[in-house]
Amino acid sequence: MRHFHRTVKDTDGQDKPMWRTRWSAPEPRWGDAPHPPVLLVFHQVGKRSALKQMERVAELTREHWQGQWAEGGFRIYNGKMPIVATTLELLREHGPAGPAFRRFGRDVDQNLWDAIGNPRRDAALARRAEERRLRLAREAAEREAQRPVCGDCGTKFTDDRWHASTRIDWGYGDSHPHLCDDCKARVLEAERQVEQVERERQEQERQEVEEAQDSKAGRWLGRWRS
């Protein structure tokens, strides 16, 4: 552990753990940044039991490898040193790829990959990711069920049209909140044409009134002169 705590100057002049210049390490997950794992292989010599020696070393080094329980039913080993142990007998029985390894703090034999990893954490994070995916899918389905449809053509509103139809600007809402963009454009154009026709009609009536007034004024003027 003292070795793992040693630091060297990085290229930017900042202190960096020396071990990171020699071993790669995965990025921290869920605040979990352990040191590189250490593998110990015990062997039976005389009357000294390999398993008993393994248990003894585990107890003496507990402060360096023991993790903390996190919400979700797994341990995190931030700043700790994963220690994995085995015996020659277990290696002979299961081979280096089999369940011949016991990580200190666990009560089951595992393959080396699972022993140095954190399967419970990975499974918990996978469950959370799946729960989040399902929640987002459910929320998206609920939102989709509320999406308005055009009162004319029956087309579903786009997100932009939906937002615009409910937006209030300067105290005024959308003029045709029940129509999609295309139908609204057609209706607005039709309304514009109707307004144009009405303006032209009113202008024509105004001109006719003015002409009638001018004609009447001309007749009165002619009579006065005569």
pLDDT in tens, 10-45: 888 888 888 888 877 767 776 778 888 999 999 987
The answer to whether residue 117 scores a pLDDT higher than 80 is yes
Contact (CB, 8 A) for 78 and 34 = yes
pLDDT in tens, 49-105: 898 999 999 999 999 999 888 887 888 888 899 999 999 999 999 999 999 999 999
Instruction: Assign 219 a pLDDT band (cuts: 50, 70, 90).
Output: low
> What is the chain's length?
226
CA triple 65-108-83, angle to 5 deg = 25
pLDDT in tens, 125-167: 899 999 999 999 999 999 999 999 999 999 999 999 998 888 8
Least confident of 1-5, 90-94, 145-149, 210-214: 210-214
pLDDT at 224: 55
- Residue 162, Cα to own-chain centre: how many angstroms? 24
Contact (CB, 8 A) for 32 and 79 = no
Contact (CB, 8 A) for 183 and 152 = yes
At residue 55, what are phi and psi to the nearest 5 degrees? Answer: -65, -40
Cβ-Cβ contacts under 8 Å for 131 (sequence gap 6 or more): none
pLDDT at 56: 93
pLDDT at 72: 78
pLDDT at 209: 79
Written as six digits, the tokens of 209 are 């009134």
pTM listed for this prediction: 0.61
Beta-carbon neighbour count of residue 99 at 10 Å? 17
Alpha helices in 147-180 (DSSP H): 159-166
pLDDT at 111: 94
Backbone dihedral region for residue 154 (phi beyond 0: left; psi -120 to 50: alpha; all else: beta): left
Instruction: Return the amino acid letter for 84.
Output: V
Pairing of strands 74-76, 15-17: unpaired
Cβ-Cβ contacts under 8 Å for 180 (sequence gap 6 or more): 150, 152, 153, 155, 157, 158, 161
pLDDT at 98: 96
pLDDT in tens, 180-204: 999 999 998 998 999 999 898 888 8
User: What is the rounded distance in angstroms from the CA atom of residue 84 to the CA atom of residue 107?
Assistant: 12
